Amino acid sequence: MVKTDDFSSVFRLRPVYRTAHFVLYARNNQLSHARLGIVAAKRFAPRAVTRNTIKRVTRELFRHTELPALDCIVRLSKPVNSKAGPATTSALKAVLRAELMQLLHSQLPSESRARK
């Protein structure tokens, strides 16, 4: 999703699911596929490298998850690291990937979740 109106219509709804660092907002759409929006604020990930890593991992997992026709917004809601620490580490990527998988799998129909 890229348009402000698309984001606004999804943000008006309550958060669907939360993890330690992320919040997922979702609503049904009239399209034949799911769409993704990502919000990674500078105050929670001060380094651009970290924000880009979050976006890259989120998009990768979204592509590999067969979701129903939804508009999903994944929003970073808590700090993931500071300016003093390393921008990205394999441990950080693993934690982000696990939380994002948990978020996206929460939107799968129940019979699909049982198979995975």
Q: Provide the whole-model pTM.
A: 0.78
pLDDT of amino acid 56: 93
Token match 């348009």: residue? 3
**Residues of the chain falling short of pLDDT 70:** 1-7, 9, 11, 82-87, 110-116
Question: pLDDT per residue over 71-104, tens digit each?
Answer: 888 989 998 876 666 667 788 888 888 988 888 8
| Residues 43-71 as b or e (16 or more Cβ within 10 Å = b) | ebbbbeebbebbbebbeebbeebebeebb
Element (H, E) at 26: strand 22-28
Which domains, and CATH codes, for the chain?
Answer: 4-108 (3.30.230.10)
